[in-house]
Chains A and B, each alone.
Chain A
């Protein structure tokens, strides 16, 4: 072997003074780091992915994990990651695939935008005292209303309103399929969104029978593989989402390996057990924007025009023009998924190098739709890289109606963003189908944690709005005057339509 071993990614240290040899680390680690030998616990650091399951359950704080214990010769061009990717591909000749989102240290636009607050001239609003309106309606809004007055004084609305989705907070949970994540994880999310008056996406994995009680809070996805899609599925969802693309891997399809297609996943996806579930790169009945319109209309026709239809695209160079086409396709909302979005598995080259940040994409989509006078035709849902309530407030200022969160909801269930979802042995019982692992995730307690997160962020958004003297989220939407760019270049400030700090 000419390349030999590469340095350890993580070093696991066991403090033998503190360790009481209880073996919880052995039980909890699904990656095979710990072993009992001669009444002693021995460690194989090479298997560690830093998912922290062991140290989270060590009763004595006896475990420490260090990243990159060995140095390479430092080099600004030949980073460790670049060198290790070459080693890997020189050995295997294959495409590198990994879980979670973009790992390159691109600057984060959110962190270079600051929000406004009132001082003196217009007072801030106290959300404890005054009602704050965070309820949002997703879907088409009429360009004009026509009414008829009757002689008895009644007024009749003549304009036919399109169905909208009512959300009590602008935070929804994005599409993570059963298959990518466990049923217990999906159940926890379903309970949380139902409690919070919001919605979650099913992903392209069908809708498991045990989630039917939560179907009125589910957005069912129709993607290129059409897994789990039949008329019953479409009718169950509160809304339908056509997935064209995904921020973590724009332009390519998905692939759930046969190992993850257990009996239950097979039933929900409606494919044989153990077979690969391959979603092609394009929908093979959509080769043009006219074909997209055809699919939108076919879904509406199948469900008798009772449900909003969303279209999700990855944020790419021409998102604005694409979104303008989507707005004319009859769709009710466009989901813009930025290049920081997570995923169960993505080729490294796509994950790190394809797509654009959601901040720029949403701002340009919103601007284009307003320019063309069709902003009312679709709602904008931002997703991919939403990490905290401030991000939500900022993206709403840039024109979004609501957001999808994904990774943050998983983190609320224990995920440590170790990025090995693709391995299928998630120690937290999230990104796995192994029964001994999925049973670790209790849907009840995790539902509370996810609901807590949504609740806390919703409160924070209300506080931020109050501080800005705004009592309705509608007044925050597209309100770029409440944002300033800090150390952003002129070109980007122009795209975002935001002034610099101090201006």
Chain B
């Protein structure tokens, strides 16, 4: 089946999503959306493991929210919370992501070529085979991986950027892991987060993910792989266990 092209010029997000849903329902495997300019909720709650959507332009907030299956590629920057509570599939952003990128994400992968805003990967969580992955090429702002309950978050700090140099990294983290190329200044670690150099075993685990990230953006993975990484995880699986006493 041939690709379906949707012109999003001056189109509200609801009819846009209706067209996307209809195309998926009709069995289309490739959907290209042109002239996107600020429409929110693109791909909100859509299914279809073998469907690829290409967004040309700058989508609005909550891109691919609750998405469960498809691959969504954005040629542009994404606004607030791309991949919010995403369940399955891939979100590939050829640009930057806004605040709360991959918020509460529970499965699938989000790749952001450039940088993300505040609270990236906040409260990501995992269950059984569902393990969300967020990879950021550039840098992240404060509260990265806050309240993280599961999943994997990698910040590469490409183009000479410091991966994260703001406070609250992994604050309240009680599951999952954050890898950064280089190290995070200890003063930026949040309550309950602990940083250690990544082991060879851990590096072997993230290697194919970094390679896949590099492939998605046509980047040479070599400089990313031959580098030292730090792993930030929970100092305790029960950060709040000793806070309370029964009445």
Report B's interface with A, CB cutoff 8 A.
13-14, 17, 21, 40-41, 44-45, 47, 61-62, 65-68, 80-81, 84-85, 87, 100, 103-104, 106, 119, 122-123, 125-127, 130, 146-147, 149-150, 172, 174-175, 237-247
Contacts and interface: CB of A to CB of B under 8 A. Distances in A.
B106 A270 contact: yes
A231 B47 contact: yes
Interface in A226-242: 226-227, 229-232, 234
Of the candidates A266, A275, A420, the one having the most CB atoms from chain B within 10 angstroms of its own CB is: A275
Contacts of A64: none
B87 A278 contact: no
B242 A284 contact: no
A298 B130 CA distance: 23
B238 A258 contact: yes
Contact of A97 (B104, B239, B245): B245
Interface stretch (A11-19, A55-63, A87-95): A87-95
B84 A234 contact: no
Interface of A: 85, 88-89, 92, 94-98, 224-227, 229-232, 234, 255, 257-258, 266-267, 269-272, 275-278, 280, 284-285, 291, 294, 297-298, 301-305, 347-348, 419-420, 422-423
B147 A280 contact: yes
Nearest to B84: A285
Contacts of B238: 257-258, 276
A165 B68 CA distance: 27
Contacts of B68: 230-232
Contacts of A229: 66, 85, 104, 106
Lowest 8 CB-CB distances: which A-B pairs, in order? Answer: A302-B45, A98-B247, A94-B245, A226-B104, A270-B127, A92-B245, A97-B244, A301-B41
Of the candidates B40, B68, B175, B245, the one having the most CB atoms from chain A within 10 angstroms of its own CB is: B245
A276 B66 CA distance: 23
Given A272-B175, A302-B45, A280 B106 contact: no
Contacts of B147: 278, 280, 284
B245 A422 contact: no
20 contacts: A85-B247, A96-B244, A97-B244, A98-B246, A226-B106, A229-B66, A230-B66, A230-B68, A231-B45, A271-B175, A272-B126, A275-B149, A275-B237, A278-B149, A285-B100, A298-B44, A298-B66, A301-B14, A301-B17, A302-B66
Nearest to A85: B247
Contacts of A297: 40-41
Of the candidates A92, A270, A423, the one having the most CB atoms from chain B within 10 angstroms of its own CB is: A270
Contacts of A226: 85, 104, 106, 123, 125
Nearest to A96: B247
B38 to A, nearest CB: 13
Given A270-B106, A303-B45, A294 B245 contact: no
Contacts of A270: 106, 125, 127, 130
A204 B247 CA distance: 24
A419 B245 CA distance: 14
B87 A231 contact: yes
Contacts of B14: 301, 305
Given A231-B68, A271-B149, A298 B41 contact: yes
B133 to A, nearest CB: 16
B62 A275 contact: no
